[in-house]
Structure 1
Amino acid sequence: MTVIQNNAIINSSIHEVYNFLSDLNNHEQLMPENIYNWSSTADEARFTIKNMAKLALKVSQRIENKEIVCVPSEEAPFEVQLIWKVEELSPNETKATFVIEAQLNMMMKMMASGPLQKLVDHQVSKLKEKLG
């Protein structure tokens, strides 16, 4: 299992951060430019990654003010879970951690690790930019 992650301290309450992340409609704001054909509801998102793949994700688990887990809702190129974890540091400070767990063979790991790390870093940075 390949685990790729990053985190940031957000100057917002855990409730604000969790509510933003728990609605997949908001995730478009966190995506890099190589993502297009975005469509979403609160529970599902579909998009295309330029020169890579089409993905359809759905929320498989929500634990209020703790974590949101997304998994593919259709066949994906590899088994993957996207997990946002939130942790209250103070009433106006939240640690947000984005984790991608992927079942990658050696070849896929060599090809996908870099882009997946960039995606994680970009989304964490965008979240901090959006919410403080």
Structure 2
Amino acid sequence: MNLESKKTVINKSQKEFFEFLTDLNNFEKIMPENTDKFEVDGDSFLFSLKGMPEIRLVVKEKQEFDKIILGAASSKLNFTLTANIIEVTESSCEAQLLFEGDFNPMMAMMVKKPLQNFINTLSSNAENL
């Protein structure tokens, strides 16, 4: 299952936004309002949304200033969340979130809409930084 957010313009330079996202504590600033729990532990963070199970995301890869890939820490859920960051001007960049998950068809049907809403919210909140 592949999902993507709309491309959003962020009023930070590409380098600034990349550094913002590499500090995992900053993800709390762009999380949805219904976040129940948020904890950073080294190169990973744990979060839960109301009514949903806890999910731990781990930094899998960083390509300086243009890409950050987070992945599920649990082998039960196989997915990645990629932030692509493209320079627009010296003081702004364009960002898009891509979700790739390997789910069975029933699970995919159940989680598709909530996941799309989640990445759209992250993207919108980043745009409003």
Q: TM-score, normalising length from structure 1?
A: 0.89
Q: How does 1:1-80 map to 2 (within 5 A)?
A: 2-6=1-5, 7-41=7-41, 43-76=43-76, 78-80=77-79
8 A Cα contact 1:35 1:48, kept in partner = yes
How much does 1:91 deviate?
1.1
1:8 and 1:42, CA in 2 relative to 1: closer, same or farther beyond 3 A? farther
RMSD: 1.4
SS in 2 for 1:53: coil
For 1:34 and 1:75, the matched residues in 2 are separated by 25
Alpha-carbon offset, residue 12 of structure 1: 1.7
User: 1:101 maps to which residue?
Assistant: 100
**Unpaired segments ≥5 residues, structure 1:** none
Aligned length: 128
Post-superposition offset of 1:11: 2.1
For residue 100 of structure 2, what is the amino acid of its counterpart? E
Q: Deviations over 1:73-120 (max 9, x none)?
A: 2344x2110111101112122011111111122111211110001001
Give the 3-state SS of the residue equivalent to 1:126 in structure 2: helix
Number of the residue aligned with 1:86: 85
Matches of 1:42 and 1:129, distance apart in 2:
26
TM-score with structure 2 setting the length? 0.91
Q: Look up the equivalent residue of 1:8 and give its one-letter code.
A: T
Query: AA paired with 2:73?
Result: S
Quick one: distance in 2 between partners of 1:103 and 1:49? 21
Identity over aligned pairs, percent: 28
Q: Distance in 2 between matches of 1:26 and 1:90?
A: 23
Separation in 1, partners of 2:113, 2:14: 29
Q: What are the superposed Cα offsets for residues 57-77 of structure 1, whole Å, 9 maximum, x if unpaired? A: 11011111111111122344x
Shift of 1:42: 5.4
For residues 18-75 of structure 1, the C-alpha deviation after alignment (integer angstroms, 9 at most, x for no partner) is 1111111100111112322210145210112322211111101111111111112234
